[in-house]
Amino acid sequence: MSAGSMLYFNVNDGFLEGIVRGFKLGILTSADYSNLVQCESLDDLKLHLQTTDYGDFLENEPSPLHTTTIAEKCTGKMVEQFNYLRAHSVQPLSTFLDYITYGYMIDNVVLLITGTLHERDPEELKEKCHPLGKFDAMGSITVEQTTADLYNNVLVDTPLGPYIQGALAVQDLDEKHIEEIRNTLYKAYLEDFDRYCRTLGDATYEVMHQLLGFEADRRSINITLNSFGTELEKEDRAKLYPRLGLLYPTGIRTLAEAEDPDSVQAAVAHIPTFKELFSQVGYDEDKSLEDAFFEHEVKLNKLAFETQFGYGCFYSYFKLKEQEIRNIVWIAECIVQDQKSKINQYINIY
Amino acid sequence: ETGINAEYGGLMQHPTLAPTSAPWANDTTLAGDWFYELTPYSWGAIGASFAIAISVAGAAWGIFITGSSILGAAVKVPRIRTKNLISVIFCEAVAIYGIIMAIIFQSKLKDVGHFGDFVPKDYYSGFALFWAGITVGLSNLACGVCVGITGSGAALSDAANPALFVKILVIEIFGSALGLFGVIISIVQASNADFVGNGRSK
């Protein structure tokens, strides 16, 4: 918190910071989760969710409920809150909130491209897109045939335009390269977001740098682990690592050379955080690396609320809300599939 | 002897505007004599205006900082509305200190006659009121901002956990004492200010 931010922040953003902290108070606690895991059916789940901040959001849904409906409605609630904040914000908070949506936009673009390749119905695809990542040209993606057309006609006008230029060689739009496209876009997005946060002052940058850095490290590790057994060459893989985070620049160099999961673990062992996360996975049979990453992410996002007069809490709130939706969907799926033994594998937030 | 003309008890016109046959025609002035070229009235009046203006700026700054946080937090947690008005009241007190001091300073300004009838005591009074005004103004500015920022934190933490409010209130009380320090010193500074003049014109 630099002196400047304390003096001027509240002029434009004080009200919204109060609002977002109010939203955060509505995040489900461990007491709520212990009620939810005891539900026998999705209708019970709906009943319990009525007493939380979600309220009557499932009221008009015909029973029997499906988990996809619950997921959709929970996301709808989150989008409502986001739109409220976005509508009331002024610069530079409004640009910051827009940056949060670009991540979802990238996922939507990739979803639409994959769907087109498999010749799915465009309307169906649009319904599957994340609502926060909607952009105007979404409809025209489905008719593009080559990457070049896609870039020139559709993506260049979206906020994702700058992430494509220079980063991607014109490649065939096919199954193999789609993940590369996703990762390249996301790398450019993370670096751009970090650069933007630096202009917002210390209070925001301290929090966001850490959060974006962890996201970048996590992507680097996941890209490496997922590339074993595929045709992705090491040099190509190295180009996908974001230049951000604790693993940059030395950890990435070692990661680029890794050939198997053990060497990945060795490559990141010099950073205590990752050493700890990997060893947690080693001890616990049920816990996957993804779970460990999610847990750590929740911890970092909770810390963002310790800083006042910064924008980090806005970003963190939506990440925590996403995690909450994942938790609710996990619990709902376990109830439906009658897998009560696994039901406690959600990640507790508060 | 430069500056003060002993016979008249004070500096009179600007040396370069004075006729060359005047007794002070050969006086040379130093740069610092500019301070004497403004009448004590101006120094005193500026002091009085700084006292109120800068205090009010501090109070306003504090109120908007804490007010916006109270508004935002109260949307989801309405119970904090009434309690947190205390922070606004503490900021307001700072403006009231400014009013009091400005009234005190203004009441010390008295007409002493011609420009040339100022005695050194009058110059002292002018300067004393000026700096007393700066003292109370800047202390209240700092105090208002301090209480505002603390009040903002108090509103947000009260929304999350009601037990925290009283603890943070203690911090605000210490913060508002800063304004009081400014008021006390400024009263001491201004206490000997008195416009007497040399009685020639009365």
Average pLDDT for runs of 10 along chain A of length 350: 80 95 95 92 91 88 87 94 96 94 91 80 84 82 63 77 66 70 91 95 94 96 90 86 92 90 91 92 84 95 94 96 95 92 90
Please give the full DSSP string across B30-62, using - where no structure is assigned.
-GGGHHHHS-HHHHHHHHHHHHHHHHHHHHHHH
Predicted confidence (pLDDT) at residue B6 exceeds the cutoff of 60: no
Residues of B in Cβ contact (< 8 Å) with A17: 69, 72, 156
B154-168: average pLDDT? 95
**According to the model, what pLDDT value does residue B16 have?**
55
Residue in A closest to B71 by C-alpha: A15
- Measured in angstroms, the CA of B82 and the nearest CA of chain A are apart by 16
Q: Which of B68, B77, B159 sits opposite A10 (nearest CB)?
A: B68
- Please work out, in degrees rounded to the nearest 5, the angle formed at the alpha carbon of residue B103 by the alpha carbons of B99 and B109: 145
B170-179: average pLDDT? 95
Average pLDDT, chain B: 87
Token pair of B188, please?
A: 């001491």
**According to the model, what pLDDT value does residue B22 have?**
55
**According to the model, what pLDDT value does residue B35 have?**
79
What does the alpha-carbon distance between residue A335 and residue A315 come to, in Å, rounded to a whole number? 31
**According to the model, what pLDDT value does residue B32 have?**
67
Instruction: Return the residue in B152, B161, B164, B168 with the most chain A beta carbons within 10 A, the one to mutate for interface testing.
Output: B152
B1 confidence band (pLDDT: 50, 70, 90): very low
Q: Which of A6, A15, A17 sits opposite B149 (nearest CB)?
A: A6
Half-sphere exposure of B116 (CA within 13 A, CB side): 9
Instruction: Return the residue in A6, A53, A89, A350 with the most chain B beta carbons within 10 A, the one to mutate for interface testing.
Output: A6
Higher pLDDT: A165 or B71? It is: B71
What does the alpha-carbon distance between residue A108 and residue A75 come to, in Å, rounded to a whole number? 15
Token pair of A297, please?
A: 């992410």
Quote the crossing angle between the two packed helices A67-88 and A3-25, to the nearest 10°: 150
Q: Which of B61, B76, B145 sits opposite A22 (nearest CB)?
A: B76
Higher pLDDT: B9 or B31? It is: B31
Instruction: Return the residue in A2, A10, A307 with the most chain B beta carbons within 10 A, the one to mutate for interface testing.
Output: A10
CA distances A346 to A41, A49, A319, B18, B167, Å, are: 17, 16, 15, 90, 35
**According to the model, what pLDDT value does residue A171 have?**
57
Are A138 and A130 in contact by the 8 Å Cβ rule? The answer is: no
Higher pLDDT: B29 or A40? It is: A40
What does the alpha-carbon distance between residue B116 and residue A44 come to, in Å, rounded to a whole number? 92
**According to the model, what pLDDT value does residue A160 have?**
85
Half-sphere exposure of A50 (CA within 13 A, CB side): 10
Q: Is the dihedral of CA A317, A350, A9, A210 positive or negative?
A: negative
Beta carbons of B77 and A25 less than 8 Å apart: yes
